[in-house]
Amino acid sequence: MISVEVWSDVACPWCYLGKRRLEKAIDRFDGAVSITWKSFQLDPSIPHGEHTPHAEALAKKFNAPPEQIQQMNQRLIDLGAEEGLEYNFDSYIQANTRDAHRVLHMAQEHGLGDAMKDRLLRAQFTEGAVVDDAAVLASLAAEVGLDAEAVRAMLATDEYDAAVQADIDEAAALGASGVPFFVFDRAFAVSGAQPTEVFETALQRSKEHAEAAVLEA
């Protein structure tokens, strides 16, 4: 079993693209693979409850004119379409993603991490969901099999917050300054939403590395 740990943020469009490309590589791979989704926040300073349209947030971040923002978005729209993803930046709302990561940790404990991660990303990038809203998060979690009331109750506490912070600290320790960041069997790392072939190579190298270790034992 190849273990893949993925640090990413719900607010990161490249993370959505990287997720899909990794999944395509796994589909083509001759072997078993497990994925663990790790938390990362591109901008943890966003106050909870502060919601900013995507274009406005990017213009402020990069001090760029609307035409440049449109070009940046169109590139992602085109790349996403090639992978079957729909980016709708006109409806995208920037919000703090800490609670979304806590819900993801809860989902992973119930074996629903992949489904929850995908649902959060689609909600953010296609549907324009506000991902720091407890009611929205509970509804999304219910769609993948979690109990909505249990999610609401969890969000009213600080449960899983330490786990989210531990992931963020671990990323820093590994030298990951941005996401997506993929670690294969703690032996190989891939940074960024690389082409599917790069992930295929990483999986194959991990498999060969594991087989060599067994022979040497």
- The three-class DSSP label of residue 50 is coil
DSSP per position, 51-82: -EEHHHHHHHHHT--HHHHHHHHHHHHHHHHH
Distance CA 112, CA 108 (A): 5
pTM: 0.94
| CA separation, residue 198 to residues 55, 111, 192 (Å) | 31, 27, 10
For 153-171, the pLDDT digits (tens) are 999 999 999 999 999 999 9
User: Which residues are within 8 A (CB) of 27 and not within 5 positions of it... i.e. 6 or more apart?
Assistant: none
pLDDT in tens, 112-150: 999 999 999 999 999 999 999 999 999 999 999 999 999
pLDDT tens, position by position, 88-116? 999 999 999 999 999 999 999 999 999 99
